[in-house]
Each structure stands twice: as C-alpha cells, then as structure tokens.
Structure 1
Amino acid sequence: MSQRFASSFFRILICLLLITGSIAGVIPDAYATEGKRILLLTPESRRDQGLQEFYGQLQQSLEESGNVTLYHESLDLQEFPYETYRLNLARWFRDKYKNMPPDVIIVTGQQALRFSLQYEKWMWPGTPVVFSLASDVDVIQMNLPPHFNGKVLRANFSNVVHVVKTMLPGTRQLVLTGNVPPGEMNRTFFRQQAMQMSDELSIRDLRHLPLTEVLEEVRKLPAGSVIFQGMQTADRASARQYGADVLQAVLAQAQHPVIVDEPGQLGKGPLVALSFDFAELAKETAALALKAKAGKEGSHDLISSGFIPLLDNHQAERWQIPDSRLPAGTQRRFYTPTIWEAYRWYLIAAFATFLLLLIAVITLVIERRLHSSAVDASRQVLSQITQMNRKMTASIYNEAIGHELMQPLAAILSNVEAAMIFLKREPPAYDLLHETLQNIRRDNLRADELIRNMKGLLTKSDTELTPVDINWLVRKVLNFLSIEAKVRRIQIRENLGQDGMLVSINIVQLQQVLVNLILNSMDAIDRKKGKERVITLETSLYASDQVRISVVDSGTGFDQGVERVFESFFTTKPEGVGLGLWISASIVQAHGGHIWAENRLGGGIMRFKLPLLRGHHE
C-alpha cells in the first residue's frame, strides 16, 4: 500500500515539475511579446515650465505611438553630488530592472548623460541611449559610443544679443546675472563666448559674484543697460537660492529692462523670456527613441535652436516698445487684443453676410416693385383687351338688339295712341286705359333692361368684387343673348343646380366669360350646319368648395388642339384672332378658378370652376 502511495506521489511531483517548467518557459516569451519598454532618466525632480512642457509632450508622443511602457527615474545628482551615491544608484537600477531590462533609455541633460555613459556597461550594456536637452559643448567632449544617439542644444548667445538690440536699440550695456551651477543643462554662456558674440555690445558679467554684490552693482547701473538673468542659479557665498528668489531681488533693485530664460517668470516683472521650443524637441526625441536599435550608428546632430522671445505686453508698454521693434517670431503674453484683432474674420464674415443680405433685400424690394408694376400693366392691358373684346362682341348683335328695341318702342307708341282713344270716349274707358298703361310700363321696363345690359357690357369695372348667385348670373347672360339665339335659330336650355351657390366675382367680367363661351358654341354650331342646334348651360357643385359652370353644345367639337384652345392667338375659326377664349381663361384664373375644354359625342364642352364664397360650402 505504501509503495503504491509513493509511486502516485512521485508521479504527481513529476507532473508539477513539468508544468512549472512549461510556465517558466512561457514567461520570457510573454515578456518578449510585450511592447517596447523605455526608461527616462532626468537629472532632478524639479521642473521649470519649459521642462514640464518637454516631459508632457514626450510622454504624449510616446503614448500615441502605442505599445510603449514608460518608466521614469529622477537621479537627483545635483542634490547628492557624491561618487558613492552614483555607484549605489547604479547598483539599484541594475537590480531593479534585472528582470525587465529597458529596450531604450532616454536621458535629459548632460549630468544624466554622463551618469549613463559611466555606468551603462554595468547596468544595461549595449542598450540604445537617446539623449536630449544636453549642451553641445559637453556632448562633444564626452566621445559617445555608437549606440548613444540624440539631439543637442546650442544656446547661442547671439540670439540674446539680437533680441536686445532689436527691441531696445538704445542699449549700450548688457549685464549678465545669476550664477551658473556646475550641472546647468543647456544655457552655458562662458564669459569668453559671451564676449565674442556680443556684436559690439558692452557685456558685463556679474554671474560669479555673491548676491549682495550683484544687487549693489544692479542698483548702480547707468542708463542704456539691460539685464539678462539666468534662472538656474545659486549664490555660492551663502545658502543656496534658486533663480526665482534671485530674480525678485534683482527686480527690486533694477531700474532697467530684465530678460530671463524661463517662461514661468513672465508676469512677475521681466520684459522678455527666451525659451527653446520644448514641445518640438520632445517630439524629435520621442521619434528617435521609437526608432532606436542596438548598435545603430549615432549622429549626435548639433541643432542651433534659437531662443523664442516671449513678450510680457504690460512690460512692453512700460518700456515703450512698439510692434515695429519686435523680433520675428515674438509671442505676446498678457495681451488683450482689440475686437478687430480678436474677431477680425468673424467681423468680416458678419459684415459680408450683412452686405449680402442687404443686397438681397434691395433686390427683392426692386423685384417686388417691378413685379407689381408688371402686374398692374398686365391687368391694364388685359382690361383694355377685355374692353375691346366686349365692344367687338357687342357689335356682333347690335342689329339684333336694335330690332328688339323696336318692338317695345312700337308697342309703347301703339298703347299711347290707344290710351288717347280710350280717354275721348264718353264716358272714358278707365278700365281699358288702366290696362293700356300697364302695357306701356311693361314695354318701357323691357327696353330699359336691354339698354342697361348693353351699357354694363361696354363699361369698365375691373376691381369691384360682388357676392353673386351663379345661377342668377347665368340667367342674366342667357336673357341678354336670347335675341342672338333667336336670330341664329339656336335653342338654349338651362340645367342649373340649386340656387344659393355664391361666388365673389366681378359681374361684368364673368358676364363677358359666359358671353364669349356661348358665342363660341354658337359659332361651332353654325360651322357644323347640323339639324340639332342646342346649347345647354349647366351649373353644379364641384368637390365641396367650388362651383362648376359648363357650356355644352352640339357643334363641331375640338377635333384637334383641345389643350390649346385657351392660348393667346390660337383659333380654329378661319375668321378668328384667338383672343376671346384667352381673355376668358385670364379672367377665370384672376378669380382663382380654372377653365378647360372637352370633346363629347356630337359636340363640345367648355367648363370652368370658381371657388365658392367662404361660409357657403355645401
């Protein structure tokens, strides 16, 4: 039993060892599939505004590339400038990153670069190193190996001189203040170099004096002096002080413009801050780190990165510096632009929009007036043509009307003579006389009606709209044309709908429409010369809000061109001019209606519809 247990135990132990070995073999592969590990070494944790911008952009550029893990270590070499500290720091990094060695190392500043160069063979031999923000002078002296590659800065003092002479052309002396710490990264202006690049400007270097002496010298500076204050500074004659404290002490004593190399001090008294383009340098450093490979030959490019002048607008006003004296690329700070400067394009766009709208409004007003004038002229022409058409139509049956008037006039004359005879009787025949007078009155009214109808037909009335029962209007027209129908031996029938179908119309104009349509039907019947000579007038409701009037005849119909009969100057009659039906269509359309023609078996139909007066819809 014990042998079986021991055998089972050893089998389980062997399986566990195999599984453990498999896992151990997988772990390096997992690390191998991870993204690139980049270690960032910085000389110290304190960061001015420019360095913060550099590190922020560097991290963003690396993260945007994807699959990158960034580690950051601050060396604090300036705080602990001891060999034993650097040695222990190198041992700590070797042990810390033993199982996760970095693929690329980024170092900033010459101190961090010297540290990496001194201990890289012990910590991570052969790993690519990308450096940045290092002085060109120090990099050249280091004799870097091939796998060290990067960008160096050349803090050219001639840029400082150019800014001073451009902004303040009356400057005769440039005073340098702020001590230079041993580990300064990228603004090392040696005294001899400064004198060589002064461009015939008097240079006075106070950077190595104690702060008390510096303040005393600043207080006594003559007119025409400008101070350039380096912000990475320390007073070696006393306790350590950083640049911001020294700057405030210098500003308290100075009566001259002060220039600094730290953008974070703008707004606290300096006129100009000179700064590198740290964001662009960070992007270039990130690009080099992502492309770095072990053993790749480094170029150690020397980039002459001129300072960018950042101007405090309040100080520019204090020292009366106009825009014409600002160097190219100067960036204003604390400047409130005018409305025109801030919103120039918005104002231009708004003005252009307003101008376009004004032009559009003026165009619309002019177009409206022209349209109104054209409508008035069109109405006037239509009225004149309609009037002419009415006169032409009236001339067609003048003779018939004259003949009809002769009958009531003759009857009146006969009745008058009869009345005179009845009065001469003894006694007078009053009953017969009374009847005779009634006949005279009847014949007189008949003649008066004929004359008034003729007068209405020949009189202009273009704007007056009157509520009218459409059946009344039809009967009135039929009564007017009854004489013409008798002369032509045409029978006119009525098939009218219910009374009370009110329409708002110009009576004379709609009379003219009906007269034109009926006369056109009479002409069609005459041309056919058939036995059936009948015209039927019909009225009926159309839909629920319109009334339809139809003229049905037994004439020739519309063999061709039924869709064009209402066009101007289109006619199927040899003697026609093509205006009567066009005028009728224009009048109907002006009343909000519609007119059309149809063919039927044994003749034709002309119809038009008009809107019923509101409140009388059935």
Structure 2
Amino acid sequence: MLFLLFVLSSLAVSVQAQSVEGKRVLLLSPDMGSSASLQEFYGSLKAELRKTGPVTIFHENLDISQFPQETYKQNLSKWLKEKYRVQNPDLILVFGQQSLRYLLQHEKNLWPGTPVVFALTSDIDVVQMNLPPNFTGKVLRANFSNVVGVVKTLFPQAQQLALIGNAPGPDTNKTFLPSRLSGMADNLRVQDLRGQSVDAVKDALSNLPPDAVVYQGLLAADLATGRSSGSEFLAQVIKSSMRPVLVDDAAVLGTGPLAALSFAYAEQGRETAELASSVLAGKPLRQEILSSGFTPLLDKNQLLRWQVQPGQYPSGSELRFYTPTVWEAYRWQLIFTFALVLVLLIAVVVLIIERRLHAHAVDASRQVLGQITQMNRKMTASIYNEAIGHELMQPLAAILSNVEAAQIFLKRDPPSLDLVQETLQNIRRDNLRADELIKNMQGLLTKSDTELVPVEVNWLVRKVLHFLSIEAKVRRISIKEKLAADGMIVSLNIVQMQQVLVNLLLNSMDAIDRKKGRERSITVETMLYGTDHVRISILDSGTGFDEGVERVFESFFTTKPEGVGLGLWISASIVQAHGGHIWAENRLNGGIMRFKLPLVRSE
C-alpha cells in the first residue's frame, strides 16, 4: 500500500515537472537585435524562462524590414513550416508589430491554435489588429504624440521637430509613419529626414532655426552610403544642428543628447517571460493586453546648458548625472503621467469620431443646401427673363441684318464673295454670343453640384452686375463698382455664389423701391480683409434694417410685406458652407450687406 502511494506521488511530481520542463518555445524577432537595449531584453527574457526548468528555446530572425516582399514572406512561411515540422513549438513569443503582423497572416498555415505571447509592440498597431483568442501580450506606448508631448514640455516655445534615423517603417516597436505625423504633431512643423544620406541630413541640420529640436531614432546605418552607424552619427548630429537632441537609446546619454526616451528593457523581458511561463504551466490563456510607457531620462548637464527649468521636466522623468533630493525621489509623477496619457488617448479617439461625424454632416448639409438653392433660383427666374430677352435681341437682330446683307452681296455680278465671307463670320460671332447667353441662363436655373473651383472675385462680381444691369435700368437704379485690384482668388461654387450676389442685390433694389427717395444707387465694394480673407460689400440707399438687422438671415424672417424670408437665409447658408461669414449693418440713409470668404491666394 505504501509502495502504491509512493508511485502515485512520484507520478504526480513528474507530471507537474513536465508542465514546464521539455517545452519548446519559439522566439520570432523582426531582425537581428544589434542595439544594447534589445540585447538586454532578450538576455533577461531567456534567463527568466530557464528559471522555470529545462526549456528548449529557438530564436528566428525574420528580417522582414530588409525583405518586405510578399514572395519572401510566403517562402519564409514554407521554410519555417518545414523546419519545425517535427519539433512543433508549444509557445510562440513574437516581438515587434512587423513580426506580429506576419504571424497573424501566416499563423493558420504554420502553427494553428498554438498560444502566442507578443511584446515590444506599439499599442496603436495592436488596437487595429483583430487578434485571435490564442494571442496575448504586452504593448508599448511609443507613439509620435508621446515624443511631441516631451518636446513641448521641455521646450514650450519649440516650433519645429526634425526626425532622423531609419527610414519610416522598420522600427521594432514604433510606427512613426509619415501619414500619422501631422495628426500627432500638436502644431509643430515636422521635418522628416529619416532614411536620407549623411550629407543630406547634416546639411538640413545645419540650417535649423533657433526654435527647432532634433529627435534621433534608432539608426543602423546610412541607407544611402552605408558608411555611418548610429553611435558615429550622433556626434555629427550634435555638432551640425547645434540644437537640443533627444534619442531612443539610453546607452548614449551623457555623450551630448539632452534626453533619452527609453523603456526598461530588462524589466520588459522579465515580465514577458513571466507571462509566457504561466501559459506553459497550463494556466488559461487570458486575452488581456498590458501596456507600458517610456521613461524620459534627462541629462542634468544638458538641462543646464539649454536652460530647462525644473518646472519643465516631463512627468515621471528620471535625472541622470545628478543626485536627487528626497522630495524629488518620491514624487508620484508616474501615476499622473499614466492618467494623462489615458485621457489623451480617449480624447484622440473622441476627436476622430467627432471629425468623421462632422464631415458626414457637412456633406449632407451641402446636398440639402444645393436643393434649396435650386428652388430659390427658380422662384427668381421671372426677374431674369426680361434681362435675357433684352440681351438676345441684339445678337438675333445682328444675325438677321447680316443674312440680308449676304443676300445682297450674292446678287451682285460678280458676287462679292469676300464680303459674303466677312458677313458669315459676323453671323457666327453673333450666334456664339447668343449661345453663351442661353447657357448662362441654363446654368443659373439648373441644379448645381457642390464642386468648388478657384475663381477671381472681381470677375464674378462683374459678371453678376452685367447680368442685372437691365433690371437696374428698368428700376432706374445706378450701380457703382468700387473693386480692389484683381488677383483675389477664392475657392467656391460659381452658380451658388452668383445666387448669393443676385439675392443681395435684388434685396437692395427692393429696399430702394420701398423708400421711394431721390437717391437710387447701389455701390459694390471688394477689398482684402485681414491677410487671408476677401470682403464683398453691397451698400444701398434704401430703407435699412430698422431693428431687425440681427435677424435678417434667419429662416422665414422678412421685412418685406411680400417676402417669405428664405432668400437671405439661403445666402447665409451658402456663405457659411464656403467657410465664410455674412452680416448686415445700418448706415446713414441706407443699409449694408457684407460677407467675407477665405482666400486661396492673393496675387
């Protein structure tokens, strides 16, 4: 009986030992980790794994950054499958977002269902990935917005950030892609010099303005010439730029950089190993993603050189080459930093959602505005019929006169063919003129889309004034032009903005008719408004706005007995849709309508 109990207990101990012992772990890294930080991570990880017992560790460098071709990845997948056909791994450890993306793409063909633990991966990339249930791991908050936050805290007056290092894409745990830089730059001008030759980078750095800061990421070699490593290049960067330099690698702190934005790589390796050991021991795999942020390491000597005050130190930063006081050593800045980063991430998500909703709302409002504008144009079409008819009479009469003249020339003996040819050209000219008038009227009465084109403001004003000149003569109203120099270009929908000017001019004519005074005049002015807007003003000698000047652009509000209150509201909606602003003013013996539009350029 005692012998049986001894055998059973021995089997239990053996089974428990086998829970970790004899397991095979496959490490997948994007490329050879040449930096001291990555070597520190891998060493800490492997040492911690071996503490649990004899574990077989395989390490494969995928070299994806050097060979991003899809054919290479497919062949690599076939090679890995064949290599580990007999010794299938019990756990896969994958490092960096490039390796993680590769494994997600080929996991079903390689090791379907095998537990996967990832580390040294950017949090933004992991959030965008649809991870299977057998994936878990740790992410790093190493986004470009975090770097910008440190720069703005250390140097509140900074206006430019120069990026140097590897070409965008191959970093192990960062994704500073060019398409994402502007959205996270917080009004900093970003000069992306990554991947350029040593000479080009040195030339650009020597011309940096006084308000610039330099950020050097990991630099394996000069991609253009292959002559310079990261450590060699750092001294050249500091000498060429003569500006504060921030780096990724904490090992170079003390050689000139002001700060190093570094992670505790040894601690990252131990925590990743602990998570992997729990999975190997048979604990249920929980898809819980942990995150860690970097710690700004500051060189006290460089802080004094660049006159950075203690109040400008980033939260959670650590001073090097300096003995901190007791108060400085125990401040709870790290907790505040974590909370702040979380709030910023939430704010970014909310702003992105709000921006998309706003874009959809703007598109919908423009469509509705186009439909309402079309209704308004048809309501005012009767006013234009007289002007169009008057304009068409001239070319039609000229065509008839030229036809009669051509008949006379043909009856001569011999026929005057030269005069006939000249007469035919005159007929063609007058026909084209009539055709243009008809097309302009058709465009005014046809539903317009929301296409915006660059237009010279004075040209548009003159075109509308010419169109309404007959209406002004019929009403015995003089229209004066007071236009600024030509060359003010605005991006707008021509038909919609014509409708705005027509509505405002007709409104002024109606105000003059209601007043029935001797002075019957309208002055149209254009001028530069500030440095980036043009202002168009319509001054009339009419009745003014009395006490309703603040409500004239509200829908269904009108001061005219026969009005419906839509014309000015539609005009205001069109101006606002073009990024402008419209308002009304009273003046001595009349009223003023003004609106401004953003300039594309002024020549």
Larger Rg: 1
Q: TM-score range by the shorter chain?
A: 0.3 to 0.5
TM-score, structure 1 normalization:
0.45
TM-score, structure 2 normalization:
0.46
